[in-house]
Every structure is written in structure tokens, then in C-alpha cells.
Structure 1
Amino acid sequence: MKPLRIIHSEAATDFGGQEHRIFKEMMAMRDAGHYLEAVCQPHAELTTRLRAEGFVVHTMNMDGALNFIRGVAKMLHILKNGRFDVLNTHSRRDTILCAIAGRLAGTPLIVRSRHLANRVNSLLSYTWLPHCVTTDSQFVRNQLISRGVTPDRIENVYTPVFKHSALDQYSLRQELGLTPQSIVVGCVGALRPNKGHLELIRAMEPLFSTHSKLHLVIVGSGNDVMRSLQERIKSLGLEKRIHLLGQRNDVHSLMLGFDMFCLMTRLEASGTVYLEAASAKLPVIGTAVGGVPEMLIDGVTGFLVKLDDDQGLRDIITTLIENPSLRRKMGDAGYDRIWKNPESEFTPQALVRRTEQCYRRWLDRGVDQRKLFRKKGAA
């Protein structure tokens, strides 16, 4: 089929899970033969990363009324000159700005992607401005349907993981001076209050006295939470057992030094980091919230724990500490689910296939804005 011309927009300037998803999607779709450009703010890290990979990135400031007016005019020019088939927006601010321009330019398909698990307030950027919507999990899709978005105009496309070459699995242990006999619980995630790092330490605290070789490694950045973690660890006297590594660019290599992965997030749209851990052949432990249950198979590739169930979490970690064969079995099952299952929805190839299917179906069908929004409770 004829390659698609696609342009993505993003207003955020930091580089978290949402921006990483955009980056991975653009890379995968370009590798599949499609043409892609992006629109970001000048100081956004996504701008720098995409340009480093050879993408055309248009920049505009999106804050404030004057920048909004200028931005709509600039975006209208970009869309008309680029003759794009698809405009895919990602945040509320860029959706309102760019989708208005897309409507004025007559862009055939305007898609809003939803990456967050928190409750949707205004439906403006999901119903009236875009033609269709994609989500990161069935949980988020169901959220939007419950608010009134027409089901056949919203599809779920999971964020993929990328396969890594084999690396030295003991590099982490060498860095921290740990032995092969040490048991390492690893946690990777931005240091934000809703990621549950303090709760994880609270739950694990009794285990450090009963398991002398147990260590917790936390990877991620965030100044306020980092200070809280440092204070808590110091108050417990666990500086030699809990290791804060900050932001790292070698996460997969670090994961190969873990024995299990655990993130006690309190709110999550999907949780691709659980898949990253499974791809490193780790058993994963997650909270039964949001889209996390879609990232693992409870009892097969890992375990789900209820929020604030400290004893339940301790029991699971203890079970995995005492059963290395179970750790290997679950790690292999998680890896096979992603990479050896022909129905896997978590590979770059699956992302491309699903995205192409959605875009082409919506383009072929044509879009009628009046059909995007349905009354609450309607079939």
C-alpha cells in the first residue's frame, strides 16, 4: 500500500513515558516505510532526540494566548505544505492548537492519543476536535468509552518494547559491590509520589532484617521524591541495602542484574516498564491498578498486589527469594509472551500493524465528527 504521511504533535517538554512512546512509534513507523514529521516546543527533549534520528521537527511555543494564535497559523501552513494523511496529537494543549489547524487545513484524519490514567475532565480534545482516538491500554479505552466516546472511533495500541542484545548481567553487581548470591529487587520509574517508591520501602523494611543478602535498587529521577527517599533510607539505617541510582541510560543492562522487578505504582495507564522487565527475563510484581494487569499474567509472568497490601507484597517477595526456579520460570514466561508469541501485542511490529490498521480503516471509512460523540449510556 501507499506509505502514509504522518505528523505527530506534543506540547510536553520533558521526556517521560508519553514522549518515549511517541519516539518509539515514529521510529517503528518510519522503519515500516512511512514518512513522519513532528511538531514540538523548541526546548523539548523530544525535539532534540527526534532531530538526532534525522526527523524533521517543526518547533513552536505553545504557551499563552498569543503563541496559540501564532501556532494555529504556523500549523495551518505546515499541514497545507506537507499534505499529511494523518495528524496525531498527544497532549491537550497541542491537540487544541494543532487539531484546529488540521480542521482548517482539511487534514483527512486527526487522531488524539491518550496516555494517562487519571480521570478525563473536558472531552473537547477527544470528541469535537479529533476524528478518532487511540489509547495505551484497554483500561484507558474503557475510561473514554464510559465518558461517551463512540467505541468504533477509539482503538487501543500498546506501547512496544524493543529487543536488546545480550549484555553483561553482572555489571550492576560489580558497580554496587554485590555478589552473585545477593538478591536484588529492582525498581525503575520516574520518582513521583504516585509511583509508590516510599510504599515499596515501607513494605520491604522488615525483609532486610530477615534476609541478609537482600538489596533494593531504585532507578529514576525526581528531586522532591529523591530527597524523601534519601531521608527515609537514612532514618532506617539502610544506606548499604537500598541503592538510589538516579537517572540512567543503561536501564536494560541494569535490569539484567536484578532478580525480580517491582513497581508499586498507584496510578498507571499501562506500565510499559513491566514489559521491559519481562523482556529482561525477570518475574514482575505490580499493583492491580489501571492498565498494569494488562502488562503481566498474574501467577504466570509475575504477581499482582492490591494497593497498600504490605504483607501480601512481602509474602510474594519472600516466595521469589526462596524459589530461584520460580523466578526463572516466570522470567522465561514473560519473555516468551512478548517475543515468542505470534499474537504478541507488545513488539514494534505489532505497533506498526495495529497503527496501520487503525489509520487506514478510519481513512477508508471517512470521518464524520457527528458520530464521534455518543450520549452516555447509548449502545
Structure 2
Amino acid sequence: MSRVGEQRVRVPVSGTGIRGAQLKIAYVLPNIEAGGAEGHILSLVRLLDRSRFSPLLVTTAGGGSLYESFRFFLPVTVIGDTERARPIPPNNPFVHLQTIRKLERIFRAESPDIVHTYLPAANVLGPIAARWRGVSGVIVSKRSLANYKMGHPSLGVLESFGNRLSDAVMVNSDAVLRDVVRTERHWEGKFRRIYNGVGPIEAWDREQVESFRSREGLPSRSLLAVCVSNFFEYKGHEDLVKAAARVAGKFPELTYVMIGRDAGSLNATRTLARNLGILERFRFPGTRSDIPDILRAADLFVHPSHQEGFSNAILEAMAAGLPVVACDVGGNPEAVVDGETGRLVPPRCPEQLAEAISELLGDEGKRRAMGEAGKRRAEERFSLGRMVAEIEAMYESLAPGTSVSR
């Protein structure tokens, strides 16, 4: 799971000094399936300065696809089903109370200095348990737009309560910040905007690309487009299939690799490709741990999602030197500069998606120039080192004895 240019950090047996002068950070996450938040935390804990910070993870469900990866880097405590990744039921107050009590007991036993929660359920239940236990610093993380709250007005109220109990609200883009302001009660002094970060991904030469493609059963010299996102309906995979049908005649050897776990829409995506007569152009390898290698072997990255807070997948593609075609939604324009590092198109518009794909695949020089510009942008503005340093500074600003307001 380690990426090029990153240093693997093993979990220390114990701290030193007054608990080693380390700050103990307890991350709370509903599950540890492959996803943006989970990948972000995994990258963060790999590179945290272990002389200053001692991390641990509390999750309400074990057995996720990243479970063993997390256990390699930090202690993991599971308070729910240890075998399967089950979400916390949204409308079961009894389970919510049980979860709060279990979290409080863990915080009592571990005595964290800071509790840092991710995703909606943890952003509500985690702060309650942390304040009950008297934890010094509480951070909630907002990483997506508020579309999931549509039809559920109580979610905004509950997340506002979590915000109220926190010392900091960490957002990963200006778009997410605006969305939180629009949909939840907020305290502006608490906001910390810290962009996701990505490590360097060194380019391969032609021989390495062809060798990798051969091992994967991919055409060695034809064009390859990659999409990395779990198969939720809102991720827009069907739009990409429709766009692929539109450009099939112009690029007869173009192959698409769609990486991600099935979250409900994989079968519909396959069926659409079959009905349009282009299923043989697609590969569906599921979840992969070697995404940087796949990106290095590709020519174009396509991200047709209808909503996005700030995409780790886009940043990885930029770091790999790929031009990006993405929808003009959420935080995507903060990453992709239209006409410079890729193309931005309206969501739910296969016609314009097809035009952008055709424009870049039909012009190797433009593709290379945009890929190089994106790589520079990723290195200069969205480095993993910068992200980790900013989060470490946030932790130290909330350390016991530091003046914070709630």
C-alpha cells in the first residue's frame, strides 16, 4: 500500500517523557472500507511525526478492505462487528446511545488529547462521547457536499450539534466550507480549510508501461483512460459509458479501466455498456492497492462524479502526470484548472464529457502539456507533506493548556 516517495512509519511500542511529550490522537471512523476519507487518514498516519503524535483508530465496524493496512500503522479498536463493515443505522437511537457509551469507555481507557472524527455518524456521536469524557480537543471533518442530507433535515441539525461541541471544523475545500455554512449551524472561527494531499508519483518509461499493461492483460500501445471511484450512482459511471459510446468510432482501440468497489451501481454500469455494444472496452478490476501504477500506465483520467468535496483520486491522477476530465462540481475547480491541467464539463452531460475526452485523446501534445502542468500543480499546492504539516499544526494548536473557544 505504500506510495512512491512516501516513508512507511511503524507503530512505536510506547511514548517517552510526559507521555513522551506526544499528543495522543484518537481517530473515529464508521468503517474502514476503501474510500476517500479512509485513504486520507491512512496517508496521514503514515507520515505523522511519531515523536510528537501517538495515533490510534476507533471504528464502529471491522472487516473493511483497509482493515489490515490500518492495523499495520496504528492500533485499531473495533466497537461493533469485528468481521464485517456495517454502517451505523441512521434511525436507531438505541444503537446511537450504545455507540456513544462504547466510545466514552474507550476514551476513558486511552485518555486521548484530541479526538478527530470523520464522516457524518462519527461527526455526531464522537463529539458527544469526547465531551462526556472531558477530552481536551475535538475536531470534526467535513469532506463532502451536503447532497446526502436531501430529504433528511434532521441530519443538518445533528451535524450542527456536533459542530457546536467541537473545537475545530476541518474542511478539505472552499466548496465544502460554503456548503457547511449553507446547510448547518456553524461557528466561523472554528473552520480550518486543509486541502487533501498526495505524494509524488514518478513517471515510467515506455518499457515499464508496456510491461505493466502486459501483466494486466491490457493493450500495450492503445489509449487507456482510467476512472477511480466507488460505484455509487452519483459518481456518474453511466455518463462515462454513454460518452464512451459517442467516441467509440473515433478511438476504436480505446480501453477504459474503472476502479472501485461496488456500492450499488456496478451492475447497471455493466448492463449499459453491454446494451451499447461496448462492454469489451471496459475493465472492472474492483478495489486495487496499486492505483499509482495503473495511473502511470494510462493516458487520461476521467472523473464524471455529479458531486465532490475534494477528490483524492483527481489529485493522484495529477501527481501521476495525467490530464484530467472532470465535472465542474464542488471542489473540482479548486484542483483542476480548465484548459490548463485538464477539462471541466457540466455534470450529467455525456455529450460534453465525450467532447472533452475526444479533445485530449486526439491531441498528444495537449495531453502531455496538461499532464505536466497538473503534476506541477499537485507538487506545489497539494503535496502530502504540506497537508500533514498543516494538520499537525492544528493538533498542536488544540493541545491541552492551549486556549481554544467553543
Query: Structure 1 length normalisation: TM-score?
Result: 0.87
| Structure 1 stretch displaced more, 355-364 or 229-238 | 355-364
How do residues 297-336 of structure 1 correspond to structure 2 at under 5 angstroms? 297-336=337-376
Q: Which amino acid aligns with 1:183?
A: L
Match of 2:16 in 1: none
TM-aligned CA distance change 1:360 to 1:183, over 3 Å: same
How many residue pairs are counted as aligned between the two chains? 363
Match of 2:70 in 1: 50
Aligned to 1:303, the other structure's residue is in SS state: strand
The answer to whether structure 1 residue 115 and structure 2 residue 143 are counterparts is yes
TM-aligned CA distance change 1:198 to 1:37, over 3 Å: same
TM-aligned CA distance change 1:144 to 1:348, over 3 Å: same
Q: Which runs of 5+ in 2 are unaligned?
A: 1-19, 81-87, 150-155
Rounded Cα–Cα distance in structure 2 between residues aligned with 1:95 and 1:326: 43
Indicate if the aligned counterparts of 2:239 and 2:349 stay in contact, CA closer than 8 A: no
Match of 1:290 in 2: 330
Indicate if the aligned counterparts of 1:171 and 1:254 stay in contact, CA closer than 8 A: no
Aligned to 1:60, the other structure's residue is in SS state: strand
Q: Which amino acid aligns with 1:229?
A: T
Match of 1:29 in 2: 48
| Structure 1 stretch displaced more, 118-127 or 316-325 | 118-127
How do residues 189-338 of structure 1 correspond to structure 2 at under 5 angstroms? 189-222=229-262, 224-338=264-378
Q: Which runs of 5+ in 1 are unaligned?
A: 370-379
Indicate if the aligned counterparts of 2:123 and 2:141 stay in contact, CA closer than 8 A: no
The answer to whether structure 1 residue 176 and structure 2 residue 217 are counterparts is yes
TM-aligned CA distance change 1:100 to 1:260, over 3 Å: same
Match of 1:158 in 2: 195
Indicate if the aligned counterparts of 1:115 and 1:135 stay in contact, CA closer than 8 A: yes
**Alpha-carbon deviation of 1:350?**
0.9
Q: Which amino acid aligns with 1:216?
A: Y
The answer to whether structure 1 residue 96 and structure 2 residue 96 are counterparts is no
TM-aligned CA distance change 1:6 to 1:208, over 3 Å: same
| Structure 1 stretch displaced more, 111-120 or 40-49 | 40-49
Write the deviation string for residues 252-292 of structure 1: whole angstroms up to 9, x where unpaired: 11112211111110011111101111111100010001111
Write the deviation string for residues 160-213 of structure 1: whole angstroms up to 9, x where unpaired: 212345553224532334142x12222111111111111111123121112223
Rounded Cα–Cα distance in structure 2 between residues aligned with 1:78 and 1:328: 51
Rounded Cα–Cα distance in structure 2 between residues aligned with 1:236 and 1:9: 43
Indicate if the aligned counterparts of 2:305 and 2:326 stay in contact, CA closer than 8 A: yes
Rounded Cα–Cα distance in structure 1 between residues aligned with 2:169 and 2:72: 29
User: Cα RMSD between the aligned structures?
Assistant: 2.5
Match of 2:3 in 1: none
TM-aligned CA distance change 1:328 to 1:83, over 3 Å: same
Indicate if the aligned counterparts of 1:296 and 1:334 stay in contact, CA closer than 8 A: yes
Match of 2:23 in 1: 4
**Alpha-carbon deviation of 1:2?**
4.7
TM-aligned CA distance change 1:171 to 1:137, over 3 Å: farther
Q: Which amino acid aligns with 2:197?
A: P
**Alpha-carbon deviation of 1:10?**
1.0
Match of 2:78 in 1: 59
Q: Which amino acid aligns with 2:385?
A: Q
Indicate if the aligned counterparts of 1:40 and 1:57 stay in contact, CA closer than 8 A: yes
Match of 2:228 in 1: 188
The answer to whether structure 1 residue 82 and structure 2 residue 110 are counterparts is yes
Q: Which amino acid aligns with 2:351?
A: Q
TM-aligned CA distance change 1:132 to 1:209, over 3 Å: same
Match of 1:141 in 2: 177
State which of 393, 396, 399 in structure 2 corresponds to 1:357.
393
**Alpha-carbon deviation of 1:36?**
0.7
Rounded Cα–Cα distance in structure 2 between residues aligned with 1:110 and 1:92: 15
Q: Which amino acid aligns with 2:332?
A: V
Write the deviation string for residues 7-48 of structure 1: whole angstroms up to 9, x where unpaired: 111123533212222222222224574111111125242543
Indicate if the aligned counterparts of 2:30 and 2:61 stay in contact, CA closer than 8 A: no
Match of 1:376 in 2: none
TM-aligned CA distance change 1:213 to 1:109, over 3 Å: same
Aligned to 2:343, the other structure's residue is in SS state: strand
Aligned to 2:131, the other structure's residue is in SS state: helix
Rounded Cα–Cα distance in structure 2 between residues aligned with 1:245 and 1:82: 39
Indicate if the aligned counterparts of 2:236 and 2:348 stay in contact, CA closer than 8 A: no
| Structure 1 stretch displaced more, 44-53 or 139-148 | 44-53
Rounded Cα–Cα distance in structure 2 between residues aligned with 1:311 and 1:67: 46
**Alpha-carbon deviation of 1:251?**
1.5
Indicate if the aligned counterparts of 1:88 and 1:113 stay in contact, CA closer than 8 A: yes
**Alpha-carbon deviation of 1:110?**
0.7
Aligned to 2:267, the other structure's residue is in SS state: helix
